[in-house]
């Protein structure tokens, strides 16, 4: 499915009163039963399970084993769970992720709870699906090491338990496609809701504190938060899944120089030598979605993240530059960092200290019971 089409589907969920479900979605749900929490419609979950990768018990269990197995990395030190820790709401609590040999990446590791509902994966949407996303860290030198997919496959094929598990799940030997499908199947079971906000919306008026209720009003009105973090029961993830420049990237010392070089390329072809040269420059990661599309309108743009469980996933922003939720609120109260490509929706808002504090309390009300219970901090 093309990125643009998938984004339209996400938008349709945000606007729709009811959902049109694929004819076989019920069968997909029956193949592996997921106990969905209060707040996530079963029809929505079923819709986002792809036809070419229906969930089965064998596939989900294989994906779970792979997700936690450090043998997928080149030196046996890093697993998917190293950056997506169940005890940290499937994030890692670092400013930027850390891979083999202590190598650091350039972006904050986002939670993968509810990632199946994203319009694209990674902060810049460079992966279309969970299946695509799952296999890219395997060959990233800063994540799982300087290795090839073939080397990963060869290593797994030497483990009898895995050769048996892949035959049971896919009826075939280990392939990079089946690795991606198994991990993605497990990740589609990582859904999260049943927060105080969800129970409040379901009719329990005691579920949220008075401060959180006041904060929800600020969130919907003068705070203008719903310009990007939309509230909708049909698509209940507090994100419109759009890529925007909010000015976070502009805080990098090289951002202006990088954007000038990017603009000089015109409508860049992401496969061109000049584009590749730009992407290797110091700080080029801050160019965001531009590195995927080559479109100048995407300079410094990153996907609007979900706010569910945001209380547990500090630090914040794509580069981990905001330490606390209060810092995030202050950043947006001032209208973000000014730069020529900043999203038009952003503007300074006049909120009192109490209103800002109430906003933080509302954001905390989006923490699910399970995520809070599993949090180790």
- CA distances to 17, 19, 33, 125, 185 from 26, in Å: 20, 13, 10, 28, 16
C-alpha to C-alpha distance for 116 and 131, rounded to whole angstroms: 10
Secondary structure (3-state) at 301: strand
Q: pLDDT by residue (tens digit) across 214-236?
A: 999 999 999 999 999 998 888 99
Provide the 8-state DSSP code for 306. P
Task: Give residue 157's pLDDT.
Answer: 96
10 Å CB burial of residue 166 (0-12, 13-18, 19+) is buried
Stated length of the chain: 377
Cβ–Cβ under 8 Å, residues 193 and 368: yes
Does residue 360 belong to any structural domain of this protein? no
Does residue 255 belong to any structural domain of this protein? yes
Tens-digit pLDDT string for the chain (377 aa): 444 445 554 554 444 433 333 333 333 333 688 889 989 999 999 999 999 999 999 999 999 999 999 999 999 999 999 999 999 999 999 999 999 999 999 999 999 999 999 999 999 999 999 999 999 999 999 999 999 999 999 999 999 999 999 999 999 999 999 999 999 999 999 999 999 999 999 999 999 999 999 999 999 999 999 999 998 888 999 999 999 999 999 999 999 999 999 988 866 666 778 888 888 899 999 999 999 998 999 999 999 999 999 999 999 999 999 999 999 999 999 998 888 889 988 999 999 999 999 999 999 999 999 999 887 66
DSSP-derived pairing of the beta strands 243-244 and 302-303: antiparallel
Residues β-bridged to residue 322: 316
Task: Give residue 374's pLDDT.
Answer: 81
SS3 content of the chain, % helix, strand, coil (to 5): 45, 5, 50
C-alpha to C-alpha distance for 162 and 79, rounded to whole angstroms: 16
| Alpha helices (H) in the chain, listed in sequence order | 3-15, 25-31, 42-47, 57-67, 80-83, 130-135, 149-157, 160-170, 176-187, 196-201, 210-220, 255-264, 273-279, 290-293, 325-333, 353-364, 369-374
Does residue 326 belong to any structural domain of this protein? no
Domains contained in the chain, number: 1
Cβ–Cβ under 8 Å, residues 304 and 246: no
User: Using N-to-C axis directions, what is the helix angle for 160-170 and 176-187, rounded to 10°?
Assistant: 80
HSE-up of residue 67 (Cα within 13 Å, Cβ side): 26
Does residue 159 belong to any structural domain of this protein? no
Does residue 120 belong to any structural domain of this protein? no
Q: pLDDT by residue (tens digit) across 41-77?
A: 999 999 999 999 999 999 999 999 999 999 999 999 9
Task: Give residue 20's pLDDT.
Answer: 34
Residues annotated as catalytic are 143
Does residue 321 belong to any structural domain of this protein? no
- Which CB contacts under 8 angstroms, 24+ apart, belong to 230-234? 230/14, 232/13, 232/14, 232/15, 233/41, 233/201, 234/13, 234/14, 234/15, 234/16, 234/17, 234/18, 234/19, 234/41, 234/44
Residue 20 — φ and ψ, nearest 5°?
-95, 115
Provide the domain limits for residue 254: 249-299
C-alpha to C-alpha distance for 298 and 295, rounded to whole angstroms: 6
């Amino acid at each position: 499915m093309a990125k643009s089409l998938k984004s339209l589907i996400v938008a349709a969920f945000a606007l729709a009163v009811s959902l049109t479900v694929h004819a076989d979605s019920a069968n997909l749900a029956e193949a592996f039963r997921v106990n969905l929490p209060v707040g996530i419609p079963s029809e929505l979950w079923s819709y986002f399970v792809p036809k070419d990768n229906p969930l089965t018990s064998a596939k989900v269990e294989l994906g779970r084993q792979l997700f936690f197995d450090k043998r997928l990395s080149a030196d046996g030190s890093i697993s998917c769970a190293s950056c997506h820790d169940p005890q940290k709401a499937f994030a890692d609590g670092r400013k930027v992720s850390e891979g083999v040999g202590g190598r650091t990446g350039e972006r904050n590791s986002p939670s993968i709870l509810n990632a199946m509902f994203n319009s694209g994966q990674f902060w810049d949407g460079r992966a279309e699906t969970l299946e695509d996303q799952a296999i890219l860290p395997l060959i990233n030198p800063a994540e799982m090491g300087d290795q090839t997919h073939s080397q990963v496959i060869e290593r797994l094929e030497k483990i009898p338990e895995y050769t048996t598990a892949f035959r049971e799940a896919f009826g075939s030997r280990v392939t990079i496609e089946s690795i991606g499908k198994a991990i993605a199947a497990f990740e589609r079971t990582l859904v999260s809701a049943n927060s105080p906000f969800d129970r409040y919306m379901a009719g329990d008026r005691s579920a949220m504190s008075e401060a959180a209720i006041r904060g929800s009003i600020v969130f919907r009105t003068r705070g203008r938060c719903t310009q990007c973090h939309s509230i909708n029961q049909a698509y209940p993830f507090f994100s419109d899944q759009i890529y925007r420049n909010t000015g976070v990237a502009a805080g990098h010392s090289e951002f202006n120089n990088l954007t000038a070089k990017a603009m000089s390329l015109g409508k860049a072809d992401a496969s061109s030598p000049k584009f590749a040269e730009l992407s290797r420059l110091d700080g080029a990661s801050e160019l965001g979605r531009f590195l995927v599309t080559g479109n100048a309108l995407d300079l410094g743009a990153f996907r609007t993240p979900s706010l569910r469980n945001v209380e547990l996933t500090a630090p914040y922003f794509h580069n981990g530059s905001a330490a606390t939720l209060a810092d995030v609120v202050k950043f947006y109260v001032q209208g973000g960092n000014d730069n020529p490509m900043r999203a038009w929706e952003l503007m300074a808002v006049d909120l009192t200290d109490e209103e800002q504090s109430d906003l933080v309390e509302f954001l905390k009300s989006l923490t699910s019971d399970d995520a809070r219970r599993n949090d180790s901090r």
